[in-house]
Homo-oligomer: A and B are copies of this chain.
Amino acid sequence: MDIEGHRDHLAARIRLGMVGGGQDAFIGAVHRIAARLDDAYVLVAGALSSTPERARRSGHDLGLAEDRIYADFAEMAEREAARPDGIEAVAIVTPNHLHADIAVAFLARGIHVICDKPLAASLAEGRRIADAVADSGRVFALTHTYAGYPMVRHARQLVADGSLGRIRVVRADYAQDWLAEPLETSGHKQAGWRTDPARAGSGGSIGDIGTHAFHLVRFVSGLRVTALAADLASFVEGRRVDDNAHVLLRLEDGARGVLTASQVAVGNENSLRLEVYGTKGGLTWQQEDPNRLVFTPLGEPARILTRNGAGGVAAAQRLTRVPAGHPEGYLEAFANLYGEAAVAIRAARGGPSPDPASCFPTVDDGLEGLAFIEACVASSRRDAGWVSL
């Protein structure tokens, strides 16, 4: 809730625009939810697609005002910069090869940028962005999501405060299986651009997910990679980029590492794992079990550290919203009930009927629950005698 604490009043919400993220896109919706979660942003403008008709429809879906729906990011940058109520920040959620032009256009007009990863399709384009950031003095945030997990912050803190001693070995593995077959030849939009060097850049799995693993190594260990030796492979016939990567790492201060990325590892959904070993301790974290971090001080039993649990550190706790033991998806579960209720409420307005699968708890469930509580109390008072409901 800390983050909520930073907001004083609604007027303080940041006016946000978005480039990309129209209908059929994936990561755009994730950015919008993230922006809404703590009520720190309000989406007011968008160039959600370069196809005018799709841009328009996508903008309507999101409730944007007619005059703030754009098909062209350059026009959007120009017009928004000119409005007194223009956007203060823009989220860039297009394929990688477009990041540089877009980022530069908005930064040049003094607009802060939140950009999906990787930074760009090439290092050269990335440098253009970096220059524009430097010239503009604007905020530039790159969404390496995993850096946002509280237990990743806890891990980083353990390294930073010396709990692991000098780091010797770092290992990061990111395994998926969604590209185990040639999905890109079947018209799958995500697979299409992510395996196209012209849009994704030269890296396939190494760019799409290896770069996440790489950032995690940097972020938690605090060490720079000084040299690497990489064995990339394309297992799916006809694929134009790597779909599997095995990389040896050498890091500052003599540490060694291995980083792997695979999009053909059948049975893995988003299995990102990090292991860091130092002279005084070791830690492991897995994205699919994000609320726990296992930390072992040398010569002692392993400790299971949890989000907001005993042994917590401020660096992690400031980023949590729910108590220990509630997985962070607790909020989504909660939101699902609000969502189903919203549909029912709109139906009462005359809107469409709820999905037959809708089944949020209602007053009847509440009555049953109360009858249950009272029956338990009554039974217990009678020494666990049976009570009918």
Q: Are A339 and B244 in contact (CB under 8 A)?
A: no
Q: With a CB–CB cut-off of 8 A, which chain B residues contact A211?
A: 369-370, 372-373
Structural contact, A228 and B126, CB atoms closer than 8 A: no
Cβ of A51 under 8 Å from chain B: no
- Contacting pair A139 B369 (CB below 8 A): no
Render A192-218 as a binary contact track against B, CB cut-off 8 A, 1 for contact: 000000000111001100110011001
Q: Are B141 and A14 touching (Cβ within 8 A)?
A: no
Do A34 and B334 form a contact, CB below 8 Å, given A266-B282, A355-B318, A376-B228? yes
Q: Which of A125, A139, A337, A363 has the most CB of B within 10 A?
A: A363
> Are A379 and B229 interface neighbours, CB within 8 A?
yes
Chain B residue at minimum C-beta to C-beta distance from A292: B288
Cα–Cα distance between A372 and B279 once the two chains are bound (Å): 27
CA–CA, A373 and B207, complex, Å: 6
A372:B337 contact, CB within 8 angstroms: no
Most buried by B among A8, A302, A310: A302
Closest to A59 in B: B9
Task: Type the 1/0 row for A157-173, where 1 means its CB is closer than 8 Å to any CB of B.
Answer: 00000001000110100
How many residues in A have their beta carbons less than 8 Å from beta carbons of B? Answer: 210
The reply to whether B29 and A61 contact each other, CB–CB distance below 8 Å, is: no
Q: Determine whether A133 belongs to the interface, using a CB cutoff of 8 Å to chain B.
A: yes
A329 touches which one: B36, B280, B329, B367 (CB < 8 A)? Answer: B329
Given contacts A114-B338, A214-B369, A304-B302, contact A388 B226 (CB under 8 A): yes
Establish whether residues B376 and A206, one from each chain, have CB atoms under 8 Å apart when the complex forms.
yes
Please tell me which one of the listed residues B38, B89, B349, B369 contacts residue A33 in the complex, with CB atoms under 8 A apart.
B38
User: Known contacts A31-B334, A147-B360, A260-B258; is A206 also within 8 Å of B306 by CB?
Assistant: no
Task: Chain B residues near A319: list those with CB within 8 A.
Answer: 332, 336, 339
Closest chain B residue, CB of each to CB of A306: B269
Closest A-B pairs by Cβ, 10 of them: A269-B325, A328-B329, A10-B63, A119-B366, A267-B296, A270-B325, A266-B282, A148-B333, A148-B336, A34-B334
28 examples of A-B residue contacts, CB within 8 angstroms: A3-B342, A6-B339, A9-B61, A33-B38, A34-B334, A38-B339, A88-B345, A118-B366, A118-B373, A126-B367, A144-B361, A145-B333, A148-B334, A150-B336, A169-B235, A214-B372, A225-B372, A226-B389, A227-B387, A229-B231, A231-B384, A235-B279, A246-B257, A265-B277, A266-B298, A270-B323, A287-B325, A290-B330
